[in-house]
Amino acid sequence: MGSAAHTSDRRLVLGIESSCDETAVALVRGDGTIIAQVIASQEAEHAPYGGVVPEIAARAHAERLAPMIAKVMGDAGTSLDDLDAIAATAGPGLIGGVMVGLVSAKALAMAAGKPLLAVNHLEGHALSPRLADAGLAFPYLLLLVSGGHCQILAVEGVGQYRRLATTIDDALGEAFDKTAKILRLGYPGGPAVERLALEGDPKAVPLPRPLKGSSEPHFSFAGLKSAVLRAVESGAHTPADIAASFQQAAVECLIDRLELALATAGPFPALVVAGGVAANRTVRGALETLAAKHGMRFTAPPLALCTDNAAMIAWAGLERLVLEGEGFTGDPLDFVARPRWPLDPAAEAVRGAGYKA
Ligand code: KG4
Ligand code: ZN
């Protein structure tokens, strides 16, 4: 069922990403070649506040985006005429930043007379493994773990996503970031917790595994974060042991919930992980073991494609061009940026899930 990702498609799509704290532009070809890309992180701007400040993010995107588009087009030696479409993240995310990227894409689309592709950022993450893995066909079981989302999805095709689980409180990336804050490791937290965990004992600190073993399919990480805070306040443990034990508890929750998804909605030929937390090596290792146990192909995008980037947005645009076929003229130029945009609109709202639904 479903075709593998790569073809001899020579179409070119420019992708723009500006939904959080990375400004990114990429030019990708239909055969999966990333022709050129640039990413500008806003880490330095947000670090003093310990998290992303939406107004600062929007202004930084507005300052950087146009020169970055010029750089990518210049590096590739490509003109607007050569493009087949212009794709931009149109949500979900911090709305000021999303508007900067989407409006820029609309202006380019209008000037070039090329289709606009309004891309769901989550769909960018969900399809990014097909950009990296030429043989990955539909369907696959996707663990989408980022700063704002923690979901298990059955990916049945482009635009066909069935949500099997989501978080009832914090996203996993958020739990990593909050743990980093509690341990005073700075921002962004995930990579810092992973580094410190290397020096610690994952069994040293008794931490809860929220919802582990539950017949409810969802995730919960708020209790884990509170337990980390209590462990720090107790003064009984080293920061490295706390980081390692937190990471171990989180990974056990992921595996337990995936086992339940496989038991209730499986089998699937492939297990795929995407989103910023997919950059975590302990998470990847545990998923690889799970996939091997169930005889599934395992695909994780390379680290640079896990965290926010524009190549995945351009790629989602290319997948959309293939899906829509001849005569497709793109999304309307009055497409409105969406702060919320679930991949599976039919999925039930979950208690406390907020914008993560
Ligand atoms: O996908 P992403 O770049 O942005 C969102 O769309 O949210 O994900 C960012 C999240 C942050 O919470 C960050 O701490 C987490 O991914 N992250 C990690 C690692 N690298 C990034 N979490 C754990 N281990 C990592 N190595
Ligand atoms: Zn993301």
Predicted confidence at residue 352, as pLDDT, reads 56
Distance of CA 238 from the midpoint of ligand 2 (Å): 31
Residue nearest to atom 8 of ligand 1 (CA): 276
Collapse the DSSP code of 28 into the 3-class scheme (helix H, G, I; strand E, B; otherwise coil) and give the result: strand
CATH number belonging to the domain at 12-128+305-343, selected among 3.30.465.10, 3.30.70.270, 3.40.50.12280, 3.30.420.40: 3.30.420.40
Which ligand 1 atom sits nearest the alpha carbon of residue 121? Answer: 6
Beta carbons within 10 angstroms of residue 195's beta carbon: 12
Which ligand 1 atom sits nearest the alpha carbon of residue 148? Answer: 7
Predicted confidence at residue 5, as pLDDT, reads 56
Query: What single-letter amino acid sits at 319?
Result: E
Closest ligand, as measured to the CA of 147: 1
Predicted confidence at residue 134, as pLDDT, reads 85
Closest ligand, as measured to the CA of 312: 2
Instruction: Give the neighbor-by-neighbor strand order of the sheet with 34-41.
Output: 34-41, 22-29, 12-17, 85-91, 116-120
Query: What single-letter amino acid sits at 48?
Result: P
The Cβ-side half-sphere exposure at 112, using a 13 Å CA radius, reads: 21
Q: What is the pLDDT along the chain (357 residues), one digit of tens a residue?
A: 345 556 789 999 999 999 998 999 999 999 999 999 999 988 888 888 877 888 888 999 999 999 999 999 999 999 999 999 999 999 999 999 999 999 999 999 999 999 999 999 999 999 999 998 889 999 999 999 999 899 999 999 999 999 999 999 999 999 999 999 999 998 779 999 999 999 999 999 999 999 999 999 999 999 999 999 999 999 999 999 999 999 999 999 999 999 999 999 999 999 999 999 999 999 999 999 999 999 999 999 999 999 999 999 999 999 999 999 999 999 999 999 999 999 999 988 776 544 433
- How many whole angstroms separate alpha carbon 222 and alpha carbon 207? 12
Ligand 1, CB within 6 Å, residue ranges: 20, 146-148, 173-174, 176-177, 188-191, 194, 275-277, 279-280, 307-308
Beta carbons within 10 angstroms of residue 267's beta carbon: 10
Predicted confidence at residue 1, as pLDDT, reads 38
Residue with tokens 């146990």: 293
Residue with tokens 């979900």: 92
Of residues 350, 119, 175, the one with CA closest to residue 128: 119
Tokens describing residue 196: 């410190």
Q: Do 338 and 91 form a contact (C-beta atoms < 8 A)?
A: yes
Question: Which of 123, 146, 179 gets mutated to test ligand 1 (max ligand atoms within 8 A of its CB)?
Answer: 146
Which ligand 1 atom sits nearest the alpha carbon of residue 125? Answer: 1
Tokens describing residue 229: 């805070």
Predicted confidence at residue 353, as pLDDT, reads 47
- How many whole angstroms separate alpha carbon 301 and alpha carbon 189? 20
Surrounding residues of ion ligand 2, Cβ less than 5 A: 146, 308
Cβ-count burial of 41 within 10 angstroms (0-12 exposed, 13-18 middle, 19+ buried)? middle
In CATH, the architecture of 139-301 is: 2-Layer Sandwich (3.30)
CA–chain centroid gap for 141, Å, is: 15
- How many whole angstroms separate alpha carbon 188 and alpha carbon 69? 26
Q: Is the dihedral of CA 71, 73, 77, 80 positive or negative?
A: negative
Distance of CA 148 from the midpoint of ligand 2 (Å): 8
Distance of CA 250 from the midpoint of ligand 1 (Å): 14
Distance of CA 121 from the midpoint of ligand 2 (Å): 6
List the domain boundaries for the chain.
12-128+305-343, 139-301
Query: What single-letter amino acid sits at 123?
Result: E
3-state helix, strand and coil shares in percent for the chain, rounded to the nearest 5: 45, 20, 35
- How many whole angstroms separate alpha carbon 105 and alpha carbon 107? 5
Beta carbons within 10 angstroms of residue 322's beta carbon: 15
Q: Do 311 and 318 form a contact (C-beta atoms < 8 A)?
A: no
Q: Is the dihedral of CA 342, 330, 276, 30 positive or negative?
A: positive
Closest ligand, as measured to the CA of 150: 1
Fold match flag (12-128+305-343 vs 139-301): yes
- How many whole angstroms separate alpha carbon 160 and alpha carbon 138? 10
Closest ligand, as measured to the CA of 124: 2
Distance of CA 113 from the midpoint of ligand 1 (Å): 36
Cβ-count burial of 59 within 10 angstroms (0-12 exposed, 13-18 middle, 19+ buried)? middle
